[in-house]
Amino acid sequence: MSMENNLWQHILRVRNTSPLVHNITNYVVMNNTANSLLAIGASPIMAHAQSEVEDMVNISHSLVINIGTLDEYWEDAMLLAAKKANELQKPWVLDPVGAGATPYRDKAISSLLSLNPTVIRGNASEIIAIAKANKTVTKGVDSTAMSSEAVEAAKSLTEIHNSVICISGETDIVISKDQIICLKNGHPMMTKVTGLGCTASAIIGAFLGVTENKTEAVVSAMSLLSIAGELAAEKSTGPGSLQVNIIDKLYNMTQDEFSTHLKLSDHAS
């Protein structure tokens, strides 16, 4: 598979060029997100003031918007930043944390979605929730293994918003207009560490800052993090040490470790 050869090159490019990633993210994960970005070689900025988010987008390579602990002020800041990113043609990621949990959250997601995020990353229930909340008609579920409700939701979102969608889970599924990539790395204990999904979204932002190929950016990020999680889990006695060891492994992952463990498959969309 030709994509595999490119992934490690993107990882090296992040390490060598330190893309500046502007994060408007949630309080729970800010420290880990910043540390994960630093560990892969990127430069994190965390800034949310309405008085400066546009200027921050201007100096950054990409933007990551994560609504985990949003409120009315932050929502407005997110919209300002996303609009600026579009105006400057900079890539941006939407992480719709908790989509479907409250009407307020769904309204905020709709506003952001209307700005056509470059990438959307969420778990299956979040992707389904945003497709439903935005009246994206899902076409019914057929019987093949991969065509789950979430994949159908993702396909419709891809069509309308031209976004690459990443559905995180035991298998990560990356969906663009003409391709579906499945990634089978990771470890079950990763679900017991808060905010690894948020970290994934932030890392996607870093890769969008170094490559024009949006799908490869997403696959690079997801494979790097989930292989790091797999290797880190081997030496962890619980989710506390796993959180620490993942950051170490993001930092010291070798090409050999990466290519030995990568479990990728693709399909026509």
Comparing CB distances to its own copies, the nearer of 220 and 243 is 243
Q: Two tokens at 133?
A: 């909340």
Residue from 34, 24, 22 nearest 78 by CA: 24
**What is the contact mask toward its own copies in residues 213 to 242, using x (rule: CB under 8 A)?**
-----------------------xxxxxx-
Asked if 69 is part of the footprint of its own copies (rule: CB under 8 A), the reply reads yes
Asked if 252 is part of the footprint of its own copies (rule: CB under 8 A), the reply reads yes
The answer to the question of whether 168 is labelled as a binding residue is yes
Residue 137 buriedness (CB in 10 A; 0-12 / 13-18 / 19+): exposed
The CB-of-245 to its own copies minimum distance in angstroms stands at 6
> Strand 43-46 relative to strand 92-95: parallel, antiparallel, unpaired?
unpaired
Which residues, including other chains, have CB under 8 Å from residue 98's CB and lie 6 or more apart?
Answer: 67, 68, 105, 126
Q: Can you tell me which of 78, 166, 221, 246 binds its own copies, judged by CB under 8 A?
A: 246
Q: Can you tell me which of 9, 12, 73, 111 binds its own copies, judged by CB under 8 A?
A: 73
The pair phi, psi for residue 65, each rounded to 5°, is -115, 120
Comparing CB distances to its own copies, the nearer of 4 and 54 is 54
The answer to the question of whether 169 is labelled as a binding residue is no
Which uninterrupted H or E stretch holds 17?
helix 2-17
Asked if 257 is part of the footprint of its own copies (rule: CB under 8 A), the reply reads no
CA angle 154, 152, 100 (to 5 degrees): 60
Q: Which residue positions form the known binding site for ATP? A: 121, 168
- Residues binding its own copies (CB under 8 A): 26-32, 34-35, 38-39, 44-52, 55-56, 59, 68-73, 98, 101-105, 191-195, 236-241, 243-252
